[in-house]
Amino acid sequence: MDTVTVSEKFQIVIPKDIRMRMRIKPGEKIVMVEKNGTINLIPVGSIKDARGLSIGTVSDDVRDESERFD
C-alpha cells in the first residue's frame, strides 16, 4: 500500500508503480469519486478503448421497457 502526501496546494502525486500498472500518462484525465469516506481515482478512457467491450453479451433476458417500472 502506498501513502501519498497532500501538498499545500491540495495536490497529490500518484506513485510510479501505480502509474505504470494503470498506464496513466501525463495530461490524462482522471475522475475522482468519493463514496462513504473513500476516494476512488478512475482513469477516463477514450471511446476507442471501449471498442469490443460488449462482444459476447447476450441480451435474451433483458426486460421489456414496459416491465421496467412495475
> 68: pLDDT confidence band, cut at 50, 70 and 90?
low
> 63: pLDDT confidence band, cut at 50, 70 and 90?
low
* CA neighbor of 28 nearest in space, from 52, 7, 49: 49
> 70: pLDDT confidence band, cut at 50, 70 and 90?
low
- Domains of the chain, by residue range, sit at 23-47
Q: Is the pLDDT of residue 61 over 80?
A: no
DSSP category for residue 54 = T
Q: Which amino acid is at 15?
A: P
Q: Could you tell me what percent of the chain has a pLDDT over 90?
A: 47
Please, which residues have CB within 8 angstroms of residue 17's CB and are 6 or more apart in sequence? 2
